[in-house]
Structure 1
Amino acid sequence: MSPAEKRFQSGHVSSIAATHLLHDTYTSFFAPLLPLLSEKLGFTYALAGALSVVQRIPALFNPLFGIIADRILIRSGIILCPVVAVVSMSLIGLAPSIIMLAVLMLVSGITAAVYHVTAPVLMRRVSGDKVGRGMSFFMFGGELARTVGPLLVTAAVSWWGLEGIWRLIPVGLIASLLLFLNLRTIRKEDLLHFSTPAKEPLLKSFRGMTPLFSTILPIMFFRGFSKSALALFLPSYMVDHGHSLKTAAIALAVLELAAALGALGAGSLSDRIGRRKVLLGIMLISPALMYLFTLSGGIVLWLLLILMGLLFFASTPVFMAMIHDLNSDRPSLANGLFMTMNFAAGSAIAMLVGFAADHCGLLLTYKITALLGLFAIPPALCVKK
C-alpha cells in the first residue's frame, strides 16, 4: 500500500458517511410510524414483522450486487439509492392498503441492498490503513440516521399528519444533490482500484471467506433478537407501557443516538485492542442490560436505553472491519455476503419476535431475547485474536 493509499481521507469519509445518514434517516421512518400505520391499516405485530421482511428481501441478492460492484463502482449509484429511498419512504403515510405499503417497503429495501453493498467498499478505499475507523464513521452515519429519522418523521406527523409526511421529499432531494456534487471530487484511482479485471476464481474467493462467516453468523443471529426487538418494537413497547407516541419516538431516538456513538467508537477501538476483545465485551454485557431493561422504569429505564444503544449496535463496524481485513480482491462480494447474512438473519428474527410479541406480549418477548443473547458468547470466543 502506497503512502497515498494509506492516507485517511477525512473529507471523503465524511461525505460517504453523510450519504449513509441521509439514506437511513428516511428508511428508519417505519418503526416510529408503526403505531399509527397499524391503527390506520389494521395489522398485527406479526404482520409488522412480515413487512420488515419484505423490506429486507432484496438483501438476498446482495452477493449478485457485489459481483457487479466489483467490476463497476459508480459514485452516482451511491446517491441514486438515497434519492429513491427519500421518495418511497416519504409516501408510506399515503399508502391506502397493506399491499401498497409493502410495495413501498420493497422499493426502499432494494435501495438499501444496493447502497449497503457498494458504499462500504468505497469507504474502505478512502480510509487508507484505518479501516476500522472508516467503518465506524460509516456506521455512525447510519446509526445517527435512526436518531434523526424518528424525530424528523414524528415532527412531520405533528405538523402535517401521517398523510402529510410526503412534504419531506424536497428536503431529501436537495441534500442528495449537495452530496452528489461533493462525491464527484473522489479520485478516479480510488474507484478503479476495485475494477481490475484480474481476479481469483469465484469459488476460491468463497472458500477464503467461509471461515470468517461461519464464525460471525451465529453471533449475528443470537444477538439479533434483542437488537431487532429494540429497533422495530421499542416505540410499541413504550406505548404499551403507558407512554405517549412522542415519548416513544424520543426513546427510539435516544437509543439510536447512543448506538451512533457506540458505532463511532467500536471500530476505532478494535483497531487498537483487537476485534475479538471488543466483540466479546459486547456479547457479555448486552444480555444483562436487556433483561434489566424489562424490570426498570423512570430514570433507570432511560439510562439502560443509553447503555444498550452504546453496545447493541457497536458490533457491526467491527464485523465490517473484519470482512475488509480479508483483503479479498472481491471486496464488494465479501461485503454483499455479509449484508445478505445480516439482513436475512434480521428478517427471520423480526418475524419470530413479532409472532412472540403477539402471543406472549412484548414484555416477555424482551426477556426471552435477553436470554437468547447469551448464546452469542461461545462463538465470540472463537473469533481469532
Structure 2
Amino acid sequence: MKNNVNVLEDSKFQTSNVTALSIGHWIFDTYQAFLPAFLPIFLNTFSLTNMQGGALSAFNQFPSLIQPVIGYISDRRNLRWIVILAPAISAVTMSLLGVVPGYWTIALLLMIAGFSSAGLHAVGPAIAGKLSGNKIGRGMSFWMVAGEVGRALGPLAVVTVIKFFGLKSTPLLMIFGLGASVLLYFKLRKIPNHSVPNDELTNWRPALKKVAPFVLAISAINLSVAFLASGISTFLPIYLTGQGSTLWFAGASLTILQIAGVAGALVSGIWSDKIGRKPLLISAILISPIALVLFVYTSGFLRIVFLLIMGFAMISVQPVLMAWIQQSYPDQRALANGSYMAITFVIRSGIVIVIGWMGDQLGLSNAFLVCAGIMLITLPIVMLTPTNPIAKPIVK
C-alpha cells in the first residue's frame, strides 16, 4: 500500500499552506535575529570579550541537540503546536533582552528561545517539504526566504526601537510575535496531519547506514559554510562598531547582508530543482569567501557591494543542502531534517566561540579571513559527493 509520504510526493506544490508555514518562520526569525544587534551593547555594558559574546550565541543554539528527537516524534505524532507556539516564545524571550540585569539571565532567555527554535526547525521544514510535492527545492526556498526576511528585519527593527525609544522599550516588540502565534493557530489547524503511521515507517538505521558517506559529506560542507556564515552574521555589528560605525549602521549592514540572502535563498532552491544541487553549491562556495576577503580590504560603497554579493552566495547554500538531505530521506523527513538541523546548530554554536576567540587573539578582520579560507577547502568534498543518493525505504 502506498504510504502517506509517497502520496505527498506525487501531489502538487501547495502554495497557500507552504506560505502559511513560511510566514510563521519569518516572524520567528525576526526575533531570533535580535541577538547580534544586542551583542555590542552587552559587550560594553557587562565588559564581555568577543569569546563571551560568542558563547551567548552558543547558549541559544545548544538546545538544537534535541532536534533529532523532536523530528523522530514528529514522524509519528502531530506536533503542529510547536510551530504555533514558537513565535510567541521567541517574541517574549528575545524582546526581554533589553531589560536583563546580567549575563546569566541573558543566557537563560537565549536557551529558552533556543528550545523553541529547535522545535520549529525540526518540524516546520519537514511539513513544508511534504506540502511541496515534487518541488522540494521550491518549498525549501519559501521556507528559507521567510527566515532570511526575518533575519534581515530583526537587527534593523531592534536597533531602530533602541535608537528612538531607548533600550528599556524593547519588550514592546513582543506583541507582534504573540499576534503571529494567534494567526498561526487559525492557519495551521486546517492543514491535515501528514504523519506516517507507525506500521508504515521505514527502518531508519539501515537507510542511514546506506547513505552514511553522503551524510558525512553534507556535514563537512555545512561545517565550512558555518564558519563564514556564523562569523559574519554574529560578529558583523561588533566588527563595524569597532571600526567606528554607529550601532544603527552596524545593524543596518546586517540587514543588507540578510536582504541579499533573501534573494539567494529564493533563487538557489528553485534553480537546484532544475539544474541540480551540486553546480549551485560549487558556485556559492567559490563566490562567498572571495566576497568576504574583498569586503575586509575595501571601504565605502564597494564594501556594501561585496556585502551584498557575499550575502546572496553564502545564504543560497542552505536551501540546496536542505532539499538535498530531505530528498535522501523521503519517508522520514522530520527525522532527517531534525538530525541535519541539529548538526547545523551545534556546529554553529561551537564555531561562534572559536571565531570569538580568534577575534580576541588575531582581530576580527583576520578571523574573517581564516573563515574564508576554510570555506574554500570544502570544494573537493562537494565535487566528490554523490549527486542523488536516495535512501530506499525499508518497511517494518
- Is the shorter-chain TM-score for this pair beyond 0.5, marking a shared fold? yes
1:262-285 per-position Cα deviation (integer Å, ceiling 9, x unaligned)? 001100010000001111111122
For the pair 1:361 / 2:363, whether they are aligned, the reply is: yes
Answer with 199-208 or 102-111: which moved more.
199-208
When the two chains are superposed, the root-mean-square deviation of aligned CA atoms in Å is 1.5
1:211-241 per-position Cα deviation (integer Å, ceiling 9, x unaligned)? 3211111111122211111100011111112
Find the residue that maps to 1:329 and give its secondary structure. Answer: coil
> Aligned partners of 2:64, 2:31: CA distance in 1, in Å?
18
Q: What is aligned with 2:115?
A: 110
Alignment partner of 1:240 out of 239, 242, 246: 242
Alignment partner of 1:12 out of 14, 17, 28: 17
Shift of 1:380: 1.0
Give % identity: 32
Shift of 1:4: 9.1
Q: What is aligned with 2:337?
A: 335
Shift of 1:364: 1.3
> Aligned partners of 2:227, 2:82: CA distance in 1, in Å?
32
Q: What is aligned with 1:326?
A: 328
> Aligned partners of 2:294, 2:7: CA distance in 1, in Å?
49
Answer with 262-271 or 213-222: which moved more.
213-222
Q: What is aligned with 1:269?
A: 271
Shift of 1:175: 2.1
Letter in 2 for 1:250: A
Letter in 2 for 1:283: I
* Number of residue pairs the alignment of both structures matches: 382
Shift of 1:200: 2.8
Taking the TM superposition and a 5 Å limit, the aligned residue runs for 1:31-46 are 31-46=36-51
Shift of 1:197: 3.3
For the pair 1:163 / 2:184, whether they are aligned, the reply is: no
TM-score by length of 1: 0.96
For the pair 1:57 / 2:59, whether they are aligned, the reply is: no
1:64-120 per-position Cα deviation (integer Å, ceiling 9, x unaligned)? 111111111322221111211111111111110101000001001101111100001
Question: Runs (4+) of structure 1 moved beyond 6 Å?
Answer: none
Contact 2:329 2:336 in 1 (8 A): no
> Aligned partners of 2:368, 2:9: CA distance in 1, in Å?
48
For the pair 1:25 / 2:30, whether they are aligned, the reply is: yes
Shift of 1:354: 0.3
Contact 1:71 1:197 in 2 (8 A): no
Give unpaired runs (5+ residues) of structure 1.
Answer: none
Contact 1:6 1:128 in 2 (8 A): yes
Find the residue that maps to 1:42 and give its secondary structure. Answer: coil
Contact 1:73 1:195 in 2 (8 A): no
Taking the TM superposition and a 5 Å limit, the aligned residue runs for 1:84-163 are 84-163=89-168
Give unpaired runs (5+ residues) of structure 2.
Answer: 1-5, 388-396
Shift of 1:2: 5.1
> Aligned partners of 1:34, 1:303: CA distance in 2, in Å?
25
